[in-house]
Amino acid sequence: MKKFIEKFNSHTKDEFLYIKLKDIVCNVNGQTIEILFIYPEQFEMQVSISKEKIENAVKKILNSELEITVNLIKSHFDKEYFIKEFLEFLDDFPSIKAQISKSDIDICEKQKKVTVSVESAIFSHCLSKNITSSIQQFLCRSYCEQINFAFTEKDCDTTIILDDVPVVTTLERDGGRIIPFVGGDVLIGKEVKPPATYISDIHLKTGEVTICGRVLSIDVVVYRKNDKDNKFYKLSIEDFTAKIGVLYFPFHKNPQSLGMLKRDDEIAIFGTIGPDKTNPQTPVMIAKYVARAKLPKEFLVNRRIRTVDTAYRTIKPKPFIEKAQNSIFDAVIKKDVCRELQEGTFVVFDIETTGLDPKLEKIVEIGAVKIKNGIFTETFSSLINPQRPIPPEATAVHGITNEDVKEKPTIDLVLPDFYKFVKDSTLVAHNLPFDIGFLELIGEKMGIYFDNEKLDTLTLARKTLAHLKKFNLPYLTKLFSITHESKHRAVDDAVAAAQLLKILLEKSVN
């Protein structure tokens, strides 16, 4: 079908790019071929005028003795028509169709948005069997418009969304991702001219490139070849974004000026990127020219920022529902709630992980509660599929098993929604460096940066309650009679830390 539409566009010189091929129906017994095209409603006049031209193009492409008919169908998103077509499509999935009624299908014609609510078992089945892929093909064949389709789990906050929103990143500032160093004395070869490429942007196919940075280490490696002692220089260079290994193999015409370099010297290098022989997946630079350089002071990395839309696509926040009757926070602001909480917006969050090292381990749960003007307003909660087994020792801490997360969304789907939830809020956690370390490391790879104001209740507790010997969350919540039901589960830890935050802020003011 793809080749057919390509040939059709070629024959018609791309005049009808807005037309889509819905189906080709061959009837061998009846000796007929039916071509079904769909086109956007706004092109109805053009299609009507060009119908004969379209039919002739199809007949030339097929070049068949069979009777060929061309049907041109106007694509129009209509609520009743969509439900009829969708339920017919589900005939191929009888176990799902039996569980879906018209009342489960919610349609917004203006926004061309469809949401189908299903029970948990069907929701999991759709996820595990990748039914969404078939539905996406159905939508593509049936409509020219972009239809936003989602399965939602009844009485749950999880959603499977089919509309494939492209990941768009833009540079934070004009000027590209370069470092405008000032060139200095030549050490090897010729002058190295600015600007330099970020080391973090270098990969195995980069080719020739200029970098600059600080010397972290420099070693002379001596080896024996042809009964002679030979040597090469091995450097480690770090710029504002990353570090890279550099090799220089001297020739007899080159001055041995690299021996003058020492740690923390600033240099610029022009050379070629290639694979490291000991680790072929790691790029190294083979230096050609080396010169001293002066790096820009107070340099800011020009980050690639991901454009995150305003709609929650995988995890939606839920209104906060008070569980504990003796909660420190009431439904309305009390006079004893400190000014900081009354006038600001805070998101107190917690994560559960497969281990302690953010470079090696994965997040399995995010939980958060939002405090706006002194009142708990919303919670954000999601188990996360780490796409690797959860170690037994981690499960022993938080109780989350592989079975719990196997059909849950991955972090790349959850983190954009969490970013929306915390936007314009102060981020708070107990032992913040641990939790934020995971989020920042993952977020940076996705172009999501948590530049929020930040507050650590652990640091605040050590400062405010210096007389204590323990500062962990279970101890402090017990000390202040804060209800903390499910320790080491993200939302409950976040709510407990939020209640602790109020106490600590009031004590720090008094």
| Catalytic residue numbers, as ranges | 488
The one-letter code for the residue type at 147 is: I
Closest to 448 measured CA to CA, from 421, 423, 422, 416: 416
The DSSP output letter for 355 is: S
Cis peptide leading into residue 195 (ω within 30°): yes
- CA 425 distance to own-chain centroid: 20
Q: How far apart are the C-alpha atoms of 147 and 137, rounded to whole Å? A: 11
CA distances from 95 to 121, 136, 489, 496 (A): 11, 19, 35, 43
Look-up of token digits 């090897």? 188
- Phi then psi for 135, rounded to 5 degrees? -65, -40
189: left (phi over 0), alpha (psi -120 to 50) or beta: left
CA distances from 64 to 5, 6, 263, 311, 411 (A): 17, 18, 76, 50, 52
The one-letter code for the residue type at 491 is: V
Q: Which two tokens stand for residue 293?
A: 């350089």
The DSSP output letter for 410 is: P
Strand blocks (E) in 76-128: 105-108, 113-118
Residues 6+ apart with CB under 8 A from 247: 232, 233, 234, 235, 284, 285, 286, 287
Long-range (24+ apart) CB contacts under 8 A made by 465-471 are: 465/504, 465/507
Residue 349 and residue 368 in contact, taking contact as beta carbons nearer than 8 Å: yes
The DSSP output letter for 308 is: -
